[in-house]
A and B are shown apart, each in its own frame.
Chain A
Amino acid sequence: MTAPPPSLLVEDLAYAYPDGHQALFGVDLRVERGERVALLGPNGAGKTTLVLHLNGILRAGRGRVAVAGLPVEKRSLQEIRRRVGVVFQDPDDQLFMPTVGEDVAFGPRNLGLPEPEVTARVAAALEQVHMSDAADRPPHHLSFGQRRRVAVATVLAMQPEIVVLDEPSSNLDPAGRRELAEVLAELPVTLLMVTHDLPYAAQLCPRSVILDGGTVVADGPTGELLTDADLLAAHRLELPYGFDPTPT
Chain B
Amino acid sequence: MGAAHGGTLSARYLPGSTAVHRLEPHAKLVSVLTFAVVVVATPVHAPWAPAAYAGYLLAVLAVAAVAGVGPGRLLRGLVVEVPFVLFAVLLPFVAGGPQVEVLGLSLSRTGLAAGTGLLAKATLSILAATVLAATTEPRALLRGLERLRLPQVLVQILMFMIRYADVVGGELHRMRIARESRGFTGGGLRGLRVVGATAGALFVRSYERGERVHLAMLSRGYRGSMPTGPSVPVGTRSWAVALSLPLAAAAVLLAGILLG
Contact check, B217 vs A81: say whether CB atoms are below 8 A apart: no
Interface readout for A129-143 with B: 1 if CB under 8 Å, 0 if not?
A: 000000001111100
Cα(A131)–Cα(B218), bound, Å: 24
- Whether B209 contacts A138 by the Cβ 8 Å rule is no
A157 to B93, CA, bound (A): 64
Instruction: Let me know if B220 and A158 touch, CB within 8 A.
Output: yes
Q: Is the CB of A57 within 8 A of B222?
A: no
Q: Which residues of B contact A137 (CB under 8 A)?
A: 4
27 residue pairs bridging A and B, Cβ less than 8 Å apart: A57-B215, A57-B218, A57-B219, A81-B220, A81-B221, A84-B219, A86-B216, A88-B215, A88-B216, A92-B164, A92-B167, A92-B209, A93-B216, A94-B216, A96-B160, A96-B213, A98-B142, A102-B229, A106-B217, A107-B220, A107-B221, A110-B222, A110-B227, A115-B230, A140-B163, A141-B4, A155-B220
A158:B221 contact, CB within 8 angstroms: yes
A144 → chain B closest CB, angstroms: 12
B223 interface residue per 8 A CB criterion: yes
Q: In the assembly, what is the distance between CA of A198 and CA of B209, in Å?
A: 28
Cα A111 to Cα B219 with chains together (Å): 12
Shortest beta-carbon distance from A90 to chain B in Å? 7
Q: How far is the CA of A102 from the CA of B5 in the complex (A)?
A: 13
| A81 nearest CB neighbor, chain B only | B221
Among B138, B218, B221, B227: residue with most chain A CB under 10 A: B221
A84 to B218, CA, bound (A): 12
The minimal Cβ–Cβ distance linking A156 to chain B, given in whole angstroms, is 11
Which residues in B have their C-beta under 8 angstroms from that of A57? 215, 218-219
B221 and A78 form a contact (CB under 8 A): yes
The interface residues of chain B lying within 8 Å CB-to-CB of A55 are 219
Contacts of B229 in A (CB 8 A): 102, 105, 109, 115, 118
Across the interface, do B139 and A110 meet the contact criterion of CB distance under 8 Å?
no
Let me know if A52 is at the binding interface, CB within 8 A. Answer: yes
Distance (whole angstroms) from the CB of B12 to the closest CB of chain A: 15
| Residue B6 is within 8 A (CB to CB) of chain A in the complex | yes
Interface centre among A111, A139, A141 (most CB of B within 10 A): A141
Q: Do A86 and B219 touch (CB < 8 A)?
A: yes
Q: 0/1 per residue, A154-175, Cβ < 8 Å to B?
A: 1100100000000000000000
- Please tell me if A97 contacts chain B, counting CB pairs below 8 Å: yes
Interface residues on A, range: 35 or more
Q: Is A36 an interface residue (CB 8 A)?
A: no
A49 at the binding interface (Cβ < 8 Å): no
B212 touches A88 (CB 8 A): yes
Bound CA span A94–B222, Å:
12
CB neighbours (8 Å) of A141 from chain B are 4
Measured CA separation A97–B143 after assembly (Å) = 12
| B7 contacts A by Cβ under 8 Å | yes
Q: Decide yes or no whether B162 CB sits under 8 A from chain A.
A: yes
Q: Is B166 an interface residue (CB 8 A)?
A: yes
Cβ A98 vs Cβ B139 within 8 A: yes
Give the most central of A93, A97, A137: most B CB within 10 Å: A93
B63 at the interface (CB under 8 A from A): no
Bound together, the chains give a CA A78 to CA B220 distance in angstroms of: 9
**Mask of B160-199 contacts with A, CB within 8 angstroms, 1/0:** 1011101100000000000000000000000000000000
A81 to B220, CA, bound (A): 6
* A96 touching B217, Cβ below 8 Å: yes
CA distance A109 to B216 in the complex (A): 15
CA distance A138 to B4 in the complex (A): 8
Closest CB in chain B relative to A186 CB, distance in Å: 22
Q: Does A82 contact B (CB under 8 A)?
A: yes
**Interchain CB contact (< 8 A) of A140 among B166, B213, B222:** B166
Interface flag for B159 (CB, 8 Å): yes
Identify B221's interface contact among A96, A110, A139, CB under 8 A.
Answer: A110
- Compute how far the CA of A154 lies from the CA of B230 in the bound complex, rounded to whole angstroms: 19
Contact B216 A82 (CB under 8 A): no
Which residue of chain A has the shortest Cβ distance to B230 in the bound complex?
A115
Q: How far is the CA of A193 from the CA of B103 in the complex (A)?
A: 77
Q: Which residue of A lies closest to B208 (CB)?
A: A93
A138-B4, A138-B6 known; A110 and B209 CB under 8 Å?
Answer: no
Q: In the bound complex, what is the Cα–Cα distance between A84 and B142 (angstroms)?
A: 30
Question: Given A115-B230, A158-B221: A140 and B216 within 8 A (CB)?
Answer: no
